[in-house]
Amino acid sequence: MVIYLFLFSFKVDSQDVKLGNCLDEYSNSIEPELKGQVYKGLAGLLGDEFFNPSYLKGDIFLSNGQIAYGQYLRYNGRIDELLLLRPETSHQILLDKYFIQGFCLKKTDSSVQIFFDKISVIKELGADSSQIFAQVLYRNKLSLYAFRRFLNNQHILVRLNSGEEVLQNSYAASFIYYFKLPNGQTIGFKSLKGRDLYKLFPGNKELIKKFFKEKHQRRFNTEEDLIRITKLLNTLY
């Protein structure tokens, strides 16, 4: 298996935020104002573009400290944006990312809650910093995030009812993971091997080798593996 590693980092002010629960707090303020515009979608799209296939109930954490509770939300990984469903009108609203610090989704008939933070990163093949929504996989002094992006991976020739043939874009998941260090720096990668960690954390090479030897861990094929090594690396801080 070929491991494709990208290193791109960005430093921001570090701020630890307690990972709470959806719908478990109460605000004495008025209903927060949510800003956005009607979402029309991309016509003729093939494949997937949404992290959650249907709308889920959840909370939105705004940059001004307010929380919009019990909203119907859907994350679009093609455009890295959060959508809001207004049940009374059936309108899908593309929310303004600038005013959102993060959000959480609660799976239907489940206690599982999925948290996303807005973090600053250097995107792949880019030089400038940008802010993305990334799922929190582990949060501590060293944190692990997943950017649930969906990219155009191929063009498919489709025959229309009129008989005309056209090329349409097909989208599929292409996730990127980020370590967030205690100093606020973020480091991105697509997948990981043991030797890649030596490049990411050169000052802790011997300690990492010791961890691998004790835990018999050499390869990271799943997100559970990544979370486990992040927890181990967190003990270095």
Taking a C-beta distance cutoff of 8 angstroms, is the pair 144, 179 a contact?
yes
Mean pLDDT of 79-86: 95
**What is the C-alpha separation between 149 and 18, in angstroms, rounded?**
25
More confident residue, 12 or 53: 53
Residue from 208, 144, 200 nearest 176 by CA: 144
Higher-pLDDT residue of 187 and 165 is 187
Residue 47 β-bridge partners? 171
User: CA angle at residue 11 from 149 to 151, to 5 degrees?
Assistant: 10
The per-residue pLDDT for range 116-164, each reduced to its tens digit, is: 999 999 866 556 788 999 999 999 999 999 999 998 776 665 666 676 6
pLDDT band per the 50, 70, 90 thresholds, residue 232: confident
Question: Which residues face 231 on adjacent strands?
Answer: none
- Domain spans of the chain, in order of start: 9-190, 193-237
This prediction has a pTM of 0.79
Q: Give the distance from CA 165 to its chain's centroid.
A: 36
